[in-house]
Structure 1
Amino acid sequence: MSDSWKQATEASSLQCRCFPLVIVQGFLGHTESRIWGDFERHLNQNCPECERKVIFASVGPVSSLHDRACELYYSLVGGTVDYGEEHSKAHAHSRYGRTHAQGLYPQWSLENPIHLLGHSLGGPTIVKLQYLMKQGHFGPHAHPDWIRSINTISAPFRGTQAVYTLGERVDAAPKVRPFSAGSMLSKAIHTISYFSPILPKAFDLHTESRRLSFRDISIFCLLKMLWKSEWAESQDAAPFDVTFESADQREANQEGQPYPQTFYRSCATYLTEKSEQNSNLHTVSFTNSLSFLLVAPLLFLARVIGSFDFSIIRPVPSFLDEISTIPTDVEKGKLYTADYRKSLPEEYWANDGVVPLFSQWHPASCCSTRCQHVETRVPAPGIWYVEQWDKTSHSSLVPLWVASDRQKQYWLNLGRWLRGIELQGVCT
């Protein structure tokens, strides 16, 4: 244990100030604390002097990263959600969303920062929030340093093959294949949104800015949307934001580049293993599938992601360009499948049933991001720290609480990490 860490531990008895932890859930995540369970006991184990406040933020379960980030901001500070004039015009929806009469943490400021934890799509949502704060989207007073740390679990920073398997066109995203799972899901979302004013809160999809309810449109309009959804097949929806194309666009804008005063930590999970000794493709063993009691769709996705053919994606993802040994036919824009499968490292196929391992590390590649892929107990700001958990599925750690040893260990580690960050200021 280093001297600085010992000093921080000793100082904890002199000063204890735990910043709130704001939890942002992923795609279709809308459970709040109902199934997350008794994790706070383990989160607070390293800080007996006080109990960290945990806030579950409410954002659109199917909305785009931009819209989710805006909803996250205003859910915390209060007020009417403002998606921005330029963004709203570009994507044909109302500029303003719902009004929060009372924010979940209205004192949020440089003096009262927060920690953020994002599961799955919640991870890039948090990154988008900090990026928009840097761009001045929320006004000059909102500063990216209001975020003390960003922590993620199984986040699809650089996209996932799963979205193509479920229906996104590999050659023309955001278009969706007819009768695919994604197509059926979009129809369900439109139907729920239409009847949302009379449905329980559990079915709240935050789609009021789209004007999709029976208070705004006729049944005829609903039927047209069920036939072809301009929203679901747009670049302003969650499915497109987890394509490789969308991730490349964000990386080109340098979204996710570490800010010098913020701490970053990602938990990357995978349950697959190499399918063959001389191949980097991955699969799920029969033993693993029994150990984690995977539902059939998750098991299916893990196998598909583990053998996905990247050569069919158009435009070609930027991470394939990073592998200089992959031969291509420049004139025809073709990748040679057999060759790139030998050159591409196994982390592009290793996955947790939803997201490939490389995508969970951090936004952008390692060569363009300050990152550290080893465990540390004394974190430094401005660096993405990555830890990998094998034999772990997309939902093993959160959100469903089963009180497993791994879940307890994750929350214990996170509590230590957050406390270490907070105590650094005490010892300087």
Structure 2
Amino acid sequence: MFRFSVAALQLIELFVSSLVHILYGFYIFSSAVAGDLSLALNDLFFKSNIEASIRDGQLDPNSDNDLPPIVLVHGIFGFGKGRLGGLSYFAGAEKKDEKVLVPDLGSLTSVYDRARELFYYLKGGQVDYGEEHSKACGHSQFGRIYEQGHYPQWDEDHPIHFVGHSAGAQVIRVLQQMLADKAFNGYENTSENWVLSVTSLSGAINGTTRAYLDGMQPEDGKSMKSICLLQVLRFGVIVYDWIDIPILKYYYNFGFDHYNMSWRKAGIWGLIDCLLGNSGPFAAGDWILPDLTIQGSLRLNAHLNTFPSTYYFSYATKHTRNFLGFTIPSNVLGIHPLLYIRVLQMCQWRHPPDVPPPFKGYRDEEWWDNDGALNTVSMTHPRFPVEHPNRYVVKDSECQPLQPGIWYYKIVEGDHILFVVNRERAGVQFDLIYDSIFERCRKHAFRKIPTMPDHVQ
């Protein structure tokens, strides 16, 4: 077991924190998350060593209760249990229940790749991205090995509650469709009923106009502009993966190991090839941003179902209001200044008039309400290309008893990172939201009455 001096840990903190600050600043989290990370890292880096920080214990299959686990799935730039010295992406919400898992998935990998990773994280074995997909994208078919799954008994009789933040919500939906389609080799008995409930927190369900502001082409939703913030992000990620310093990868990993961009495998010419856009995930379009455009979400949603035996609930965040016919940020308090700018930019988004709209009936004004990263209309429930069954909720009591197969949704005043990383930013609202989520999972969303421990009766 390795132990490091205070000076060494300070150097590691400085390097990783600086890199994450820069990259986060280019997309969703801006410097608001960077500031939150700095506060948390000061305490965390001196309490753990590397090996301890990346341990993630499995749930006990011999547990004396049959409560389904609750799996918290992070969003873009996110991280699972053990990364960044033990910092909690969900700000400690996982401590509210005794059966919670927080997987570490690729932070910038595509929704498809992350859904495959999530399956093997739970069931165990070596991640199989699929032969056809791997060949089409130019990466290895197989990835990380989980010698023991974190919930190996997972099946229709032992379903799971999933909670996803941001892009994590789409990862869950894609995984459920894969289960319904029996898309995993060697697992012929999978079905959509392996998923008991889906809760979306600021979920990227229908895409975001923010992707175009940061550099995605509105013409196709797949390619990047030649000069944009995302090009800077692309450069930083490629170089970070190429230098491949193990101690840094332990603390934070973008998730592109299956692309073999390390200097050990790619060499200097491989680096040049990736930077020129001839190879790698960005050249293949096999990363998260194409999935976050409106067109990308339409492509995903066209094949995703809302299933009749699964419970669905969504929290859509909004930090805007209408003033004299204009959509503007709701206030300057309680939000980081740079994230405030992002809210303002999205309020003013206009789809280029010389470019066909992403879908028939698209109207700019319907997409102006936002939380700085996603449009509020996108977060409520699957709307495009086909609207799924849904119901707007003001108070939770209005929708009890819950009915499966319906997207219940609430609109919450707040920015996109209100319920992650820094608990103090959300205040009492943090506990109210997560308490309602966990209570719903334990008391209102089930197919058979579970055996509950005394403290959750």
Q: TM-score range by the shorter chain?
A: 0.7 to 0.9
The match for 2:324 is 277
For residues 302-361 of structure 1, give each alpha carbon's deviation from its aligned partner in whole angstroms, at most 9, with x where no partner exists: 11111110244845222xx246xxxxxxxxxxxxxxxx55xx44xx21011100001101
The match for 1:421 is 444
The match for 1:8 is none
1:309-324 to structure 2, matched below 5 A, reads 309-312=350-353, 314-318=355-359, 321-322=360-361
The match for 1:75 is 121
1:88-107 to structure 2, matched below 5 A, reads 88-107=134-153
Task: Specify the code of the residue in structure 1 equivalent to 2:264.
Answer: R
Deviation at 1:40, TM superposition (A): 4.6
Aligned: 1:400 with 2:450: no
The match for 1:226 is 275
The match for 1:175 is 223
Distance (Å, rounded) in 2 between the aligned partners of 1:408 and 1:393 = 16
Task: Specify the code of the residue in structure 2 equivalent to 1:360.
Answer: M
The match for 1:241 is 291
Deviation at 1:295, TM superposition (A): 4.2
1:250-265 to structure 2, matched below 5 A, reads 250-253=300-303, 255=304, 257-265=305-313
Task: Specify the code of the residue in structure 1 equivalent to 2:419.
Answer: L
Does structure 2 conserve the Cα–Cα contact (< 8 Å) formed by 1:170 and 1:312?
no
Deviation at 1:106, TM superposition (A): 1.1
Aligned: 1:303 with 2:340: no
Deviation at 1:235, TM superposition (A): 3.0
Deviation at 1:144, TM superposition (A): 1.5
Does structure 2 conserve the Cα–Cα contact (< 8 Å) formed by 1:21 and 1:52?
no
**RMSD (CA atoms):** 2.3
Gaps of 5+ in 1: 1-14, 44-50, 324-339
Distance (Å, rounded) in 2 between the aligned partners of 1:162 and 1:130 = 26
Does structure 2 conserve the Cα–Cα contact (< 8 Å) formed by 1:160 and 1:243?
yes
Match of 1:205 among 238, 241, 254: 254
Distance (Å, rounded) in 2 between the aligned partners of 1:100 and 1:40 = 21
Change (3 A) 1:107 1:357: same
Aligned: 1:52 with 2:75: no
Deviation at 1:37, TM superposition (A): 3.5
Match of 2:391 among 372, 376, 382: 372
Match of 2:434 among 398, 411, 417: 411
Change (3 A) 1:232 1:366: closer
Change (3 A) 1:87 1:424: closer
Match of 2:159 among 95, 99, 113: 113
DSSP 3-state at the match of 1:183: helix
Change (3 A) 1:94 1:396: same
The match for 2:182 is 136
Distance (Å, rounded) in 2 between the aligned partners of 1:56 and 1:369 = 28
Task: Specify the code of the residue in structure 2 equivalent to 1:73.
Answer: F
Identity value in percent:
26
Distance (Å, rounded) in 1 between the aligned partners of 2:221 and 2:252 = 27
Task: Specify the code of the residue in structure 2 equivalent to 1:121.
Answer: A
DSSP 3-state at the match of 2:282: coil
Task: Specify the code of the residue in structure 2 equivalent to 1:211.
Answer: N
Change (3 A) 1:40 1:69: closer
Distance (Å, rounded) in 2 between the aligned partners of 1:199 and 1:191 = 16
Change (3 A) 1:163 1:73: same
Gaps of 5+ in 2: 1-63, 451-457
Does structure 2 conserve the Cα–Cα contact (< 8 Å) formed by 1:162 and 1:354?
yes
Task: Specify the code of the residue in structure 2 equivalent to 1:214.
Answer: W
Distance (Å, rounded) in 1 between the aligned partners of 2:287 and 2:354 = 19
Match of 2:107 among 61, 69, 92: 61
Distance (Å, rounded) in 2 between the aligned partners of 1:413 and 1:263 = 14
Does structure 2 conserve the Cα–Cα contact (< 8 Å) formed by 1:80 and 1:99?
yes
After superposing the two structures, state which structure 1 stretch, 407-416 or 175-184, moved more: 175-184
After superposing the two structures, state which structure 1 stretch, 168-177 or 355-364, moved more: 168-177
Does structure 2 conserve the Cα–Cα contact (< 8 Å) formed by 1:260 and 1:381?
yes
Task: Specify the code of the residue in structure 2 equivalent to 1:309.
Answer: R
Task: Specify the code of the residue in structure 2 equivalent to 1:241.
Answer: D
Distance (Å, rounded) in 2 between the aligned partners of 1:147 and 1:52 = 19
Task: Tell me the TM-score normalised to structure 1 length.
Answer: 0.81
Task: Tell me the TM-score normalised to structure 2 length.
Answer: 0.76
Distance (Å, rounded) in 2 between the aligned partners of 1:307 and 1:112 = 47
Change (3 A) 1:226 1:394: same
Match of 2:381 among 362, 367, 381: 362
For residues 114-166 of structure 1, give each alpha carbon's deviation from its aligned partner in whole angstroms, at most 9, with x where no partner exists: 11111011010111101111121113222221111011111111110111111
Match of 1:84 among 109, 112, 130: 130
Deviation at 1:259, TM superposition (A): 0.7
The match for 2:57 is none
For residues 381-427 of structure 1, give each alpha carbon's deviation from its aligned partner in whole angstroms, at most 9, with x where no partner exists: 1111111102x010112232227110010011112211233566339
The match for 1:145 is 193
Match of 2:411 among 388, 398, 413: 388
Task: Specify the code of the residue in structure 1 equivalent to 2:300.
Answer: R
Distance (Å, rounded) in 1 between the aligned partners of 2:391 and 2:312 = 10
Deviation at 1:73, TM superposition (A): 0.5
Task: Specify the code of the residue in structure 2 equivalent to 1:147.
Answer: V
Change (3 A) 1:134 1:64: same
Aligned residues: 373
